[in-house]
Amino acid sequence: MIKIQNLKKSFRTEEVETLALNDVNLNVASGEFVAIMGPSGCGKSTLLNIIGMLDNPTEGSYKFSDHEVGGLKERQRTELRKGNLGFVFQSFNLIDELTVYENVELPLIYLKMNKSERKQKVMAVLERMKIAHREKHFPQQLSGGQQQRVAISRAVVTNPKLILADEPTGNLDSKNGIEVMNLLTELNQEGTTIVMVTHSDRDSHYAHRIVNLFDGQIVTESQNRAMEARV
């Protein structure tokens, strides 16, 4: 599903040029659950953003389901992303002015789905994430764990092929963290590919494969034995 070859990404600020990703090669197969780990500032988020088509690579090739993404214009990337990808962030990134229901509904609106279909889908996913009773609440009125459940609902409501999660448990206590990881695992078992950035060893154990980044380069890749044993 994801084929990355010799990918480089550099940022230009006024004086310095930072090479955030240096010659990254990575393949992710459909249905995989991959964890990206590494110290802060090593380029994890940058890599995830490129995979999520929020950003363009400076050099190299990135193929998503055999589409070359590298040189696409912003509008084309948006089109390709819509409905195919879901995002989960550390800081949830819910819109404060919208209710839980409206937050989850948003991606469907951009897919131009009609209202009744939207309602049915949103309610289904909220039920599933056990947050339906809070549909009229605003994000500020929810706990961190609940907010992240809403964020995951929003990420999966379009039935995406790929979910990208950037430290999804970073702002949660361990109980809520485990709950979120179980949800992601469930989704993975239903066939959704997941790429997740994490700091936490505990979370990395949920993945099939761990990719270690250091200073913009992949240093080690390991199959997760423990995980396989558990499954």
Q: Name the nearest CA neighbour of 170 among 110, 88, 99, 95.
A: 88
- Give the Cα separation of 173 and 108 in Å (integer): 30
Partner in contact with 54, chosen from another protein, Mg ion, ligand ADP, none, beta carbon below 5 to 8 Å by kind: another protein
What angle (nearest 5°) sits at the alpha carbon of residue 44, between those of residues 34 and 165? 50
Residue 78 interacts with another protein (CB under 8 A): yes or no: yes
Residue 37 interacts with ligand ADP (CB under 6 A): yes or no: no
Q: Name the nearest CA neighbour of 92 among 40, 146, 38, 133.
A: 146
Residue 228 interacts with another protein (CB under 8 A): yes or no: no
Q: Name the nearest CA neighbour of 207 among 14, 15, 217, 187.
A: 187
Q: Name the nearest CA neighbour of 88 among 133, 130, 148, 145.
A: 148
Residue 95 interacts with another protein (CB under 8 A): yes or no: yes
Q: Which residues pair with 221 in a beta bridge?
A: 211
* Subset of residues 110 to 129 that bind ligand ADP, contact rule: CB under 6 A: none
Please choose, out of 12-20, 101-109, 139-147, 153-161, the segment that lies near ligand ADP by the rule CB under 6 A: 12-20
Residue 45 interacts with Mg ion (CB under 5 A): yes or no: yes
- Give the Cα separation of 8 and 53 in Å (integer): 14
**In which order are the strands placed within the sheet that holds 193-197?**
85-89, 162-166, 193-197, 33-37, 209-214, 217-223
Question: Looking at 62, 64, 89, 206, which residue binds another protein (CB under 8 A)?
Answer: 89
Question: Looking at 17, 40, 112, 116, which residue binds ligand ADP (CB under 6 A)?
Answer: 40
Q: Which amino acid is at 35?
A: A
3-state secondary structure of 9: strand
Question: Looking at 106, 123, 132, 178, which residue binds another protein (CB under 8 A)?
Answer: 106
Question: Looking at 97, 114, 230, 231, which residue binds another protein (CB under 8 A)?
Answer: 97
Partner in contact with 13, chosen from another protein, ligand ADP, Mg ion, none, beta carbon below 5 to 8 Å by kind: ligand ADP
Q: How far is the CB of 228 from another protein (least distance, A)?
A: 33
- The structure tokens listed for 148 are 């992240």
Question: Looking at 107, 145, 177, 216, which residue binds another protein (CB under 8 A)?
Answer: 107
Question: Looking at 5, 22, 93, 212, which residue binds another protein (CB under 8 A)?
Answer: 93
- The structure tokens listed for 173 are 């206590």
Footprint on this chain of another protein (rule: CB under 8 A): 49, 52, 54-55, 74-75, 78, 81-83, 87, 89, 91, 93-97, 106-107, 110-111, 138, 140, 154
Residues making contact with ligand ADP (CB under 6 A):
11, 13, 18, 20, 40-46
